[in-house]
Amino acid sequence: MKAIVMRAGPARYAVLQALRPINRSFCYSGPFSSVSLEDIPEPALPSPEWVKIKTAICGFCGSDLNLILMKDSPTAMPFTSFPCVPGHEVCGEIVEAGSAAKGWSAGDRVALCPMLGCEARGITQPCRSCRLGLYSNCENSAEGDIAPGMFTGICSDINGGFAPYLVAHKSQLFRIPGNMTFGSAVLTEPLAVSLQAVLDSRPGNDETILIIGGGVIGLFVVKAIRGLGIQCSITVADPSPLAAEYTVKSGADRVISGDLIGAAVEITGGRAYKPVIGEPVVMGGFTRIYDTVASSMTLRTAMRILAAGGTLSVLGIGGNVKLDLTPLWLKLQTIKGCFGYGRHTEKGVSRPVFGMALDMLASGKVRAEEMLTHEFAIEDFRKMIDVNLSKSRHRAMKTAIRF
């Protein structure tokens, strides 16, 4: 079968670090490309607890783009393995079910929760994270019966959704309701990421919050908040007119660009104090900030405009950053790491956040199918990457490969 295969050895990584500043296309075309379209065998079931899925559609994530461009920090490399077939936002139909995949059979339409936790790895004594329902943060993602990989798409033994077929453990499967399209269900995974961040730092109705970045994850933070019925004031910071258009339609109160410190003073009624050197610090400010960019600049600014006792949720996959920690102790701030999703307990009931996201889409509490703006055949994957590198020009929000 034809699949997009990624290779990321040390030599290729070093070469592309040098070539990427010249032209990013070196990363996905030419002799040093990290990805190529190749013939690989159809996958077999690793054990009777697995199923084989015929891929219907696979979304292209910002993390896929960063992986291809070799922009991720090497710190995470022990928890990935190459060569691999990327793609973790997957929907499809089961074509084969193992004898121990109870409750699942050929013909079932499924959305894939891609996390490869202890259960999928055949580890009978689950780690502390998995026992707590934090499957995305499994401590055994480099252990067990399969190669290292935190999730499907960065594991050399389990190909991702940029291929016509893949295998999945029964613990990864969620049934797609009969009236739901694959185009809507494929958005479950990115919604789950944003929903988990909101549940972990849930604003009250009277709060004034900021979302930095109006891309897919930032937009889904807006939709998750409104889907949960929270009436807080939402400001989104993004320079793109396309992002502004989508976020306001999704329930944001306003979109800003440029001077975030001035905006924090105006919107929250805070007071800005200018030090001898450096940017002003705002006393008052936003009670919660969700940073989907996580660059040195956005994190530094966020800490300066976050209120005392406020929470900064870091959703962006940043690498090495330089921060002035003064606002952290000066205003008793909390900085929360965000990655993936697990289980959420409310009123004594524990539910997987991925399933909550799927239900929100199926019920119409979150409307998102219009976000899927571009679909491509697998042979056109380089064109898909080009579109993602110039989203505003192409009026692209979410792109995917359709089989």
CATH of the domain at 241: 3.40.50.720
The predicted pLDDT at position 76 comes to 87
- For residues 253 and 145, membership in a common domain is answered with no
User: In the numeric block, which tokens belong to residue 129?
Assistant: 């994270």
CA distance 154 to 248: 34
- For residues 11 and 114, membership in a common domain is answered with yes
- For residues 203 and 322, membership in a common domain is answered with yes
**Which CATH number do you get for residue 375?**
3.90.180.10
The predicted pLDDT at position 359 comes to 97
The predicted pLDDT at position 317 comes to 86
The number of helix segments (H) and strand segments (E) in the chain equals: 13, 19
- For residues 33 and 118, membership in a common domain is answered with yes
Q: Which residue has the tokens 């921060």?
A: 323
The predicted pLDDT at position 384 comes to 98
Number of independent structural domains in the chain:
2
Contact 185, 358 (CB under 8 A): yes
Amino acid in the structure at residue 191 = L
Residues of the chain predicted below pLDDT 50: none
Is residue 349 included in any domain, yes or no?
A: no
Phi-psi group of 265: left, alpha or beta (phi > 0 → left; psi -120 to 50 → alpha; rest → beta): alpha
Buried-exposed string 79-96: b where 16+ CB fall within 10 A, e elsewhere = bbbbbbbbbbbbbbebeb
The predicted pLDDT at position 129 comes to 97
Boundary (domain end) residue, out of 316, 337, 358: 337
- For residues 307 and 383, membership in a common domain is answered with no
- For residues 73 and 104, membership in a common domain is answered with yes
CA distance 49 to 399: 31
- For residues 24 and 157, membership in a common domain is answered with yes
- For residues 239 and 310, membership in a common domain is answered with yes
The predicted pLDDT at position 10 comes to 86
The DSSP H or E segment spanning 265 is helix 260-268
CA distance 97 to 100: 8
The predicted pLDDT at position 318 comes to 77
Is residue 356 included in any domain, yes or no?
A: no
Is residue 362 included in any domain, yes or no?
A: no
The predicted pLDDT at position 205 comes to 98
Contact 360, 199 (CB under 8 A): no
The predicted pLDDT at position 55 comes to 98
- For residues 16 and 111, membership in a common domain is answered with yes
- For residues 69 and 205, membership in a common domain is answered with no
Domain containing residue 322: 193-337
167 three-class SS: strand
User: In the numeric block, which tokens belong to residue 85?
Assistant: 């077939």
The DSSP H or E segment spanning 313 is strand 306-314
The predicted pLDDT at position 72 comes to 82
The predicted pLDDT at position 212 comes to 97
Residues 6+ apart with CB under 8 A from 279: 261, 300, 301, 304
Of 63, 46, 59, 35, the closest CA to residue 319 belongs to 63
Q: What is the pTM of this model?
A: 0.96
Question: What are the two backbone dihedrals, phi and then psi, of residue 97, each rounded to the nearest 5 degrees?
Answer: -125, 130
Is residue 344 included in any domain, yes or no?
A: no
- For residues 157 and 216, membership in a common domain is answered with no
